Amino acid sequence: MKKQVYSCGIDYLQVMDEDGGIDLQLMPSIPDSKIVEMYKWMLFTRNLDAKTLSLQRQGRAVTYAPLVGEEASQIGVALAMRKDDVLAPSFRQHGIHIARGQPLDDYFIYWKGYEDGSKSARSINALAVCVPVGTQVPHGAGVAFAQRYMGKDAATVAYVGDGGTSEGDFHEALNFAGVYKLPLIVVIENNQWAISVPRKGQTAAETLAQKAVAAGIRGVQVDGNDVLAVYKAAADALASAKDGPTLIECVTYRMGMHTTADDPTKYRAEEEVNAWKARDPLRRVNLYLTSKGLWSSQLEQETTEQHQRQIDEAVERAEQFKPDPRGMFETLYSFMPDALKEEEDNAVSNNFWM
Amino acid sequence: MKVNMVGAINNALELAMREDDRIVILGEDVGRDGGVFRVTDGLIDKFGAKRVVDTPLEESGIIGASIGMALAGLRPVPEIQFAGFMLLAFSQLVNHAARYRTRTRGTMSVPMVVRTPVSGGVRTLEHHSDSPEALYSHIGGLIVIEPSNPYDAKGLLIKALRMQDPVIFLEPTKLYRLFKQEIPDENYEVPIGKANYMRKGNDLTIITYGTMAPLVQEVADKKNVSADVIDLRTINPVDEQTILESVKRTGRAMIVHEAELSFGVGAEISARIAEKAIFELSAPIIRVASPSIPYPFPGYEGFYLPNAKKIGDAIDRILSV
Ligand SMILES: Cc1ncc(C[n+]2csc(CCOP(=O)(O)OP(=O)(O)O)c2C)c(N)n1
Ligand SMILES: [Mg+2]
């Protein structure tokens, strides 16, 4: 005997097309003012990204992972999340941190290379920036487990890249969340590249969203450059999180280098990058809002200037930050072991051999 | 040829691949990109994508598959992009690579060379600056090598690629491009398990390796002390014979490494000296290392890493006894 025991398909979601046209049937019921808010956050994120990149180029920030091109995949989720929802980020989600209220000073202190910049993660219900690829997703499952356990009306959003979906931790987390039907939303920020390895080099699967199928959870692919589609997918997943996890694949594009230590001309063609410019996540919202009389080039300029002032002031304050190396010792354990105290005293009395 | 460490390793890989077509390089970004440090640059053009393989982003998969490849007769050379991420493959290394030979009483072996960049001092993000040599040396069955100059890097790698054992080949990022050295164009081996005298003296033995080796030599030269400086080159198996020979002669021993102080390579070497030469010492052993805390974010690394002053102070202290 032979019969089909399972079949599946993956939905693709786009609400706003590349020219700002709306699919009214899919349009989430939100006021236009919310779309203006989304646009402003995307613009802020882009301005912040450009500033950080230029600071890095001047030697005033450490190795930095730019997000230009991926604003919608972050802001759409950030604005769908509620305050009590928890974020388990990877290392490129600066937009969400900021839109969830991370103080800009801390953002810059982090990118100047100090742990102190991570202090405020707690206050915005975020876990720490996570560098080992994919390892944050199981944390997300654990946070979701705790939310369920404690009876909280909240969910967890874990981010991961296209490359990160190859890691065992990613699959283990989906599996864990699926078994217990945890309130976990895993967002794949599929920017088509993992450093020099293209999306097709990661998996033979047609979509990344279908990774949900084997875990027995919901999976959807969205136009990751369409902030409304991202928002809708996230809002739907959050609304039904009490029934179990959802995997959302945001199809977007890494317009910049992997990090400031990377040279993308070594492995990808300029034509590919150019082709994605037409699909820019800001451009389409700008067109939409302008056509509705809700945005203008004058507003764009004023807003950008205001952002830049805000950003520059934060940079100034971050420059005043005084590192305290004793923090390395003092915060390692919840108590101070004698042997470590001796190491610390020795370092302090020798002025850290500076 | 006059090359830096990147050039030396690249050249060793090329020569070994010409000599032995069982050698396959695999890892994240090792192909078209030539590795994030360009160590495998150009090899995909010379040997094709069949032998220089860009893998998916999965460290456990890379090492686990390398073990299988080795068991089946190939000689994989997996690259793990940074040592911090090799921990995702720790189980494969400890539970399988290290044990296969003894598990099968010598009938099956895992000849592979795992290359990974280690150590800091170059202002990288979290997890990009770890010095994990003690972790792997603690596991019997894994050979752990860490060169400190281009000549040794090439000779040690060529030797490692001809061995039957799993080798962890640690490459200090800080030394990748720090200086160039004249080295032979052709194949040559540097013995594994054999330390190198960088410098000879009578009053003190300083045992070091990796990022600290050139620094220790510089400090000893500047201070003009009569000190042996021994570069271990191989961490495990450690060259106890050379260490004891020197320490018994000088009567003073100091160990300098970048890795954290506690439970490190310095502790192992101190113990061996204490066990076999304690009555020949005229001063307590000194360890100079990073504090017993994880490698910090780059803003703090200047407060963390052993530097010339810290090493110099320790030299003054031990010589004053
Ligand atoms: C476990 C692990 N392996 C390797 C790296 C080095 N690394 C940093 S980012 C990256 C590529 C990540 O690609 P992707 O998951 O698609 O995220 P993106 O960088 O595109 O946002 C790699 C290989 C790492 N940080 N962690
Ligand atoms: Mg990616």
Q: Parse chain A into domains and list their residue ranges.
A: 11-323, 328-354
The class that CATH gives domain B196-319 is alpha beta
Listed residue (A183, A170, A192) closest to A218, CA to CA: A183
What is the reported pLDDT for B85?
A: 98
What is the reported pLDDT for B175?
A: 98
Q: Give per-residue burial for A151-160: e unless 16+ CB within 10 Å, then b.
A: eeebbbbbbb
B286: helix, coil or strand? strand
What is the reported pLDDT for A162?
A: 98
CB hemisphere CA count around A53 (13 angstroms): 17
Cβ of A164 less than 6 Å from ligand 1: yes
What is the reported pLDDT for B71?
A: 98
What is the reported pLDDT for B56?
A: 98
**Taking CA atoms, what residue in B is nearest to A330?**
B293
Cβ of A249 less than 6 Å from ligand 1: no
Q: Regarding the domain delimited by A11-323, which CATH topology (the fold level of the hierarchy) does it fall under?
A: Rossmann fold (3.40.50)
- Quick: pLDDT tens for A3-58: 999 999 999 999 999 999 999 999 999 999 999 999 999 999 999 999 999 999 99
What is the distance in A from the centroid of ligand 1 to the CA of A136? 12
Query: Which homologous superfamily does the CATH classification assign to the domain defined by B2-182?
Result: Thiamin diphosphate (ThDP)-binding fold, Pyr/PP domains (3.40.50.970)
| pLDDT, average across residues B76-104 | 98
A343 touches chain B (CB under 8 A): yes
Rg (CA), chain A: 21
Question: Are A132 and B84 in contact (CB < 8 Å)?
Answer: yes
What is the reported pLDDT for A256?
A: 98
Question: Are A113 and B299 in contact (CB < 8 Å)?
Answer: yes
What is the reported pLDDT for B106?
A: 97
Residue stretches of chain A with pLDDT short of 50: none
Query: Distance between CA atoms of B66 and B74, rounded to whole angstroms?
Result: 9
What is the reported pLDDT for A74?
A: 98
What is the reported pLDDT for B38?
A: 98
| pLDDT, average across residues B53-57 | 98
What is the reported pLDDT for A234?
A: 98
What is the reported pLDDT for A308?
A: 97
Question: Are B33 and A261 in contact (CB < 8 Å)?
Answer: no
Out of B32, B57, B59, give the residue to mutate to test ligand 1, the one with the largest number of ligand atoms within 8 Å of its CB: B57
Q: How much is the mean pLDDT over chain B?
A: 98
Write out the DSSP string of A169-218. HHHHHHHHHHHHT-SEEEEEEE-SEETTEEGGGT-SSS-STTHHHHHTSE
- Quick: pLDDT tens for B168-201: 999 999 999 999 999 999 999 999 999 999 999 9
What is the reported pLDDT for B26?
A: 98
Stretch (H or E) spanning B176 = helix B173-176
Checking phi first, is residue A89 left (phi over 0); if not, alpha (psi -120 to 50) or beta?
A: beta
Q: Parse chain B into domains and list their residue ranges.
A: 2-182, 196-319
Pairing of strands B286-290, B181-182: unpaired
Residue B235 DSSP one-character state: E
B313: helix, coil or strand? helix
- Quick: pLDDT tens for B239-261: 999 999 999 999 999 999 999 99
Is residue B35 within 8 Å of residue B29, measured between CB atoms?
yes
Q: Model pTM?
A: 0.97
Cβ of A261 less than 6 Å from ligand 1: no
Instruction: Output the CA–CA distances (angstroms, integers) from residue B236 to A279, B95, B176, B258, in the order listed.
Output: 54, 18, 22, 17
